[in-house]
Amino acid sequence: MEIKKKDIRALSKEQLRDFFVEQGEKAFRGNQVYEWLWQKSAHSFDGMTNVSKETRKMLEDNFVINHIQVDQMQRSSDGTIKNAVRLHDGLVVESVLIPTDTRTTACVSSQVGCSLDCKFCATARLKRMRNLNPDEIYDQVVAIDNESRLYFNRPLSNIVFMGMGEPLMNYNNVLKAIEKITSPEGLGMSPKRIIVSTSGVPKIIKKMADEEVKFGLAVSLHSAIDEVRTSIMPFNATFPLKDLREALEYWYSKTKNRITYEYVIWEGINDTPEAANALVKFCKFAPSKVNLIEYNPIDDGEFQQASNDSVDMYKKILERNGITVTVRRSRGKDIDAACGQLANKK
Ligand code: SAH
């Protein structure tokens, strides 16, 4: 019977060094192989030219190198690129490259499907199938960095965890991926250019604060009134606004990082001055920025983007209270690559 080979990319550098020592080789071989696996994104042991043939064979006998595969790439008329990414077990997630004049942002997935049940989000309909491993998150970033160099002649500049899944429900793997992305032995990106977006898991937000993470935090709020929020984001019943707010205050007290809120205004749901004032009240405790994002219809018309007048009304009320506001237009809509549209349609 053939023994199942282990995924070598699940090993830390220390574990890889230990493995070589156990095999009677020098520990630094572990560093060399680690560099091939991460910095050089090697897909096979064959190409590891500074490693002897015998060692390569030994690695081959013990391990596999799992890698994502970009199955399909779609380009939007606005330059946005969506990758359908096949994982080693055949499941598929999506990631998106969003170009502006000066930046390239990667929007990456953290889970296959999602366990949250936001009524307005296409990913919610897939349910959660599994968490992504750190290497599967890292590989999405590498793929987009390569595409950015190829099509825009510049490296990737920013990363947002706003693809499929709830990053804080897969926190350990997301953190490991970010460690590799920011490490000089990985991509060497600054954590300041990374934003993790969450629907709000209070316990994990506090944990991040305690660990004094250096990346940014965005919260998908959409309503600062419990009753309304629970009706559109049912998990709010488990993690009510009071707990979320308390966790965010703790986050701010530890990190002194401004908090970004993502917020869609829907007709008949949260398009009143009362709703806007509740938002002001919720986020006033710390320097905040509110991104008013455009709704991307996913279905039957249960949700409708509010009028421009409602958006202006929010903007005025927020700005009057010293809160920074941006109104964000969607990108990549024609290829279903915009916020909330990732659902493996193809
Ligand atoms: N689970 C994380 C990451 C997903 S991010 C989170 O909730 O933050 C995706 C962002 O797009 C979130 O802010 C989400 O609320 C928003 N979104 C979901 N569906 C959308 C839709 N149909 N139109 C616009 N934004 C949507």
97-141: pLDDT as tens digits? 999 999 999 999 999 999 999 999 988 888 889 999 999 999 999
The answer, yes or no, to whether residue 340 has pLDDT greater than 80, is no
Q: Rounded mean pLDDT of 163-180? A: 97
Q: Residue 346 has what pLDDT? A: 56
Which residue from 11, 199, 185, 191 is spatially nearest to 123, judged by alpha carbons?
Answer: 199
Phi (first) and psi of residue 74, to 5 degrees: -115, 140
Q: Residue 233 has what pLDDT? A: 97
- Rounded Cα–Cα distance for residues 117 and 140 (Å): 24
Q: Rounded mean pLDDT of 160-165? A: 97
Structure-token match 């096949």, residue found = 86
Asked if 276 contacts 225 with a C-beta cutoff of 8 angstroms, the reply is no
Q: Which of 244-253, 255-264, 288-297, 336-345 has the lowest mean pLDDT?
A: 336-345
- Rounded Cα–Cα distance for residues 273 and 171 (Å): 36
264-290: pLDDT as tens digits? 999 999 999 999 999 999 999 999 999
Q: Rounded mean pLDDT of 244-258? A: 95
- Rounded Cα–Cα distance for residues 67 and 7 (Å): 10
The answer, yes or no, to whether residue 46 has pLDDT greater than 80, is yes
Annotate 321-342 with DSSP letters as a single string. Answer: TT-EEEEEPP-SGGGT-STT--
Q: Residue 266 has what pLDDT? A: 97
**Banded pLDDT at 300 (limits 50, 70, 90):** low
**Banded pLDDT at 342 (limits 50, 70, 90):** confident
CA of 91 to the centre of ligand 1 (A): 21
Name 95's bridge partners.
83
Strand pairing class (81-86; 69-75): antiparallel
The answer, yes or no, to whether residue 259 has pLDDT greater than 80, is yes
Run of H or E including 152: helix 134-152
The ligand 1 atom nearest the CA atom of 219? 8
- What amino acid positions are annotated as catalytic residues? 94, 339
Counting DSSP H helices and E strands in the chain, the numbers are 10, 14
Annotate 7-32 with DSSP letters as a single string. Answer: EGGGS-HHHHHHHHHHTTS-THHHHH
Mean pLDDT score of the chain, rounded to an integer?
94
Run of H or E including 229: helix 226-232
Q: Rounded mean pLDDT of 18-37? A: 95
**Could you tell me if the CB of 270 is within 6 A of ligand 1?**
no
- Rounded Cα–Cα distance for residues 202 and 82 (Å): 31
**Could you tell me if the CB of 336 is within 6 A of ligand 1?**
no
**Could you tell me if the CB of 120 is within 6 A of ligand 1?**
yes
Half-sphere exposure of 262 (CA within 13 A, CB side): 21
CA of 176 to the centre of ligand 1 (A): 23
Q: Residue 226 has what pLDDT? A: 98
The ligand 1 atom nearest the CA atom of 341? 22
Q: Residue 2 has what pLDDT? A: 58
Name 305's bridge partners.
266
Dihedral angle computed from the Cα positions of residues 50, 53, 56 and 62, in that order, rounded to the nearest 10 degrees: -160
